[in-house]
Copies of this chain bind each other. A is one copy, B any other.
Amino acid sequence: MQLAAQADRRYSTAAMQSSRRALPNTAAKVEKYRRRYDEIIDAAAAVFAEKGYHGASTKDIADRLGIRQGSLYYYFASKESALEEVCQKGVEGFVQGIENVLARGGGGETQLRAAVLNHLEPLNTRPTYVRVFLRDRHDLPQASRRKIGKASRQYESLLEGLFRAGVERGDFRAGLDCRLATLAMLGMCNAAASWYTEGEGIFLEALAESFATLILSGTTAKNG
Per the bound structure, the CA–CA distance linking A217 and B172 in Å amounts to 11
Per the bound structure, the CA–CA distance linking A190 and B191 in Å amounts to 8
Q: Chain A binding site: helix, strand, loop or mixed by DSSP?
A: helix
Per the bound structure, the CA–CA distance linking A206 and B189 in Å amounts to 22
In the assembled complex, how far is the CB of residue A160 from the closest CB belonging to chain B, in whole angstroms? 12
Per the bound structure, the CA–CA distance linking A28 and B190 in Å amounts to 48
Contact-size category for A: 35 or more
Contact assessment for B139 and A173 in the assembled complex, using a CB-CB cutoff below 8 Å = no
A181 within 8 A of B: yes
Contact assessment for B211 and A220 in the assembled complex, using a CB-CB cutoff below 8 Å = no
The B-contacting residues of A in range 191-222, CB under 8 angstroms, are: 191-192, 195, 207, 210-211, 214-222
Q: A52-B138, A186-B191 provided; 6 other pairs, C-beta below 8 A?
A: A173-B219, A173-B223, A173-B224, A180-B214, A217-B218, A217-B220
